[in-house]
Amino acid sequence: MDRWRCGTDAKGRTRWTRGRILASFSVLVAGLLLFHAAVPNTVGNLGSLLETFLPWLGLAVPVLLCLATLRRSTTATVATALLAAVWIALFGRLVLPAGRGTAHDLIVLQHNVNDENPNPAGTARALVRAGADLVALEELTPAALPVYEAALAAGYPYRAVVGTVGLWSRYPLSESRPVDIRPDGVDGDWSRGLRSTVRVPSGDLAVYVAHLPSVRIRLSGGFSSGWRNESAVALGAAIAAEKLDRVILLGDLNSTLDDRGLCPVTSRMTPAEGGFGFSWPATFPLARIDHVMAHGATPTATWTLPATGSDHLPVVARVTL
């Protein structure tokens, strides 16, 4: 009993000398948060897989804190507090409100509508209610495209569609053309990149719509992201060659902002932030893979809309030109 009053256990360990294993786990998780770029992709693309779900490492904080309390370990508690501080430093800003009332020149909307969407008409009506100036859609099918065209026509008289991606606008569009982001080895009618010039009251801006290839997690090959990464390189090169000073990118990039595979794009663009904005899967969003980014303009806020018939959530952002 005297031992416990003094903070020691039956083995003579104090609150500072027990719980070292728990403390080590906290240090390990904090290290992964801070130095995720050092995790190699040589085996199963583990680095990119970690970066895809990086914010979720914060769930280790309450678990380790509870275990440290049960263990009555000051060392483990301090280590967990340091882990919490690291997580807050990296992601705390995303917990703040999205700031939807901030000044802006454009409202833009990005949505992968899902090529198996059972209710494209209902999805289109939900998008119209959002009141955006620009609407970018991916996974358009020949059967569903007329439905979206009919529903969006009144509010968006200008449109451009290339393959399975499209852009609807309240402002005139010109110089719309495909953007070749096809990775090597992809055959058939694969066209998932679009570029248009949008004439807004303050002048012209280039708008890109892109849908990068999906990634897969396989037991044999790990995190398969090769095609996605190739497409990101092609998209980044297209944006780098853009002649207009103001550029907006809307798309399902099948990648999070932390994923190194998206660096060819994120290194040239400013992403819209404000909240975690997890957009996929719609039933229980785990990752933010639908993005609004800009160059020569500033995305001031972003948020997701309620689920439609798609497996993605629509993403809305305010942009200052």
- Tell me, what CATH number does 298's domain have? 3.60.10.10
85 and 140: one domain? no
Q: Classify residue 101: in a domain, yes or no.
A: no
Domain end, chosen from 72, 95, 118, is at 95
Q: What's the structural domain count of the chain?
A: 2
Tens digits of residue pLDDT in 221-243: 566 788 999 999 999 999 999 99
Lowest-pLDDT choice from 49-53, 80-84, 116-120, 176-180: 49-53
According to DSSP, residue 307 is labeled P
pLDDT score recorded for residue 221: 56
76 and 188: one domain? no
158 and 56: one domain? no
Q: Classify residue 173: in a domain, yes or no.
A: yes
Tens digits of residue pLDDT in 104-159: 899 999 999 999 999 999 999 999 999 999 999 999 999 999 999 999 999 999 99
44 and 192: one domain? no
Tens digits of residue pLDDT in 1-24: 444 445 566 565 676 778 899 999
Q: Classify residue 100: in a domain, yes or no.
A: no
Range of the domain at 210: 106-320
User: Which pTM was predicted?
Assistant: 0.87
Q: Is the pLDDT of residue 59 over 50?
A: yes
114 and 88: one domain? no
Domain end, chosen from 73, 95, 117, is at 95
261 and 309: one domain? yes
d(CA 213, CA 230): 9
What six digits make up the tokens of 20? 């070292």
Strands (E), the chain: 106-112, 134-138, 158-162, 165-169, 173-178, 193-200, 203-211, 216-218, 222-224, 247-252, 270-271, 290-295, 298-304, 315-320
The distance from CA 39 to its chain's CA centroid, rounded to whole angstroms, is: 20
Top-confidence residue, 217 or 57: 57
The confidence band for 186, taking pLDDT boundaries of 50, 70 and 90, is: confident
What six digits make up the tokens of 281? 């899967």
Domain end, chosen from 95, 115, 142, is at 95
127 and 218: one domain? yes
d(CA 60, CA 29): 8
For residue 281, whether the previous peptide bond is cis, meaning omega lies within 30 degrees of 0, is: yes
164 and 302: one domain? yes
Secondary structure (DSSP) of 77-113: HHHHHHHHHHHHHHHGGGGS---TTS--SEEEEEEE-
3-class secondary-structure state, position 286: coil
Tens digits of residue pLDDT in 251-267: 999 999 999 999 999 99
49 and 166: one domain? no
211 and 270: one domain? yes
Query: Which whole-number Å values give the CA distances from 29 to 36, 64, 98, 230, in the listed order?
Result: 10, 11, 28, 30
